[in-house]
Amino acid sequence: MPENRKQIPIKLPSLAFIVCLIISAGTWLLVTFSKDYKVSFEYKLVCENLPEGRKSVTASDTVLTLTFNQKGLRYLMKPYRDKEKVVKVSVKDLIKTKNKVSVYTFTSKEMCEYLSTHNFGSELVSVSSPEVITFYLR
């Protein structure tokens, strides 16, 4: 082997730099995933479980904008990644507190209370739109 070849030294980053990089990345992840996030998604409203004697239901609006309060990694979880966001509402359970008629009106606050009890839990903050939703039963 000829001795004219010189080996080029490879410079590796210092150990202190690598330790600082790992600490800063860990700190960034900790801060990022400990924040509270408010996220809004649009969900398609699907009515099911009609009361006896009723054949169909029509809603004044079939898209609900729901706002959730999430913290860190839970923001990346399944309910928020679903491509087809559908919320199923049992009409029978929803209208049981109202008088027996064919038209039922619910405010966004009433819908939020129902959805947090039956579908989403305490993560649901509000129903952003519509302000009022009306169900027409036939």
pLDDT at 16: 85
Q: Is residue 104 part of a domain?
A: yes
Task: Give pTM, 2 decimals.
Answer: 0.71
DSSP 118-131: IIIGGGEEEEEE-S
User: Which of 136, 132, 6 lies closest to 64, judged by CA?
Assistant: 132
Residue 45 lies in a domain: yes
Q: What is the pLDDT of residues 8-44, one digit of tens each?
A: 676 667 888 888 999 999 999 888 888 888 888 899 9
Tokens of 127: 């129903």
Cβ(130)–Cβ(64) below 8 Å = yes
Give the CATH number, domain containing residue 51: 2.170.120
Q: Could you give the number of structural domains in the chain?
A: 1
Backbone angles phi, psi at 41, to 5 degrees: -135, 150
Strand partners, 89: 47
Residue 25 falls inside a structural domain: no
Measured CA to CA, the distance from residue 99 to residue 113 in angstroms comes to 18
Please report whether residue 23 resides in a domain: no
Whether residue 46 lies inside any domain: the answer is yes
- Parent domain of 126: 37-137
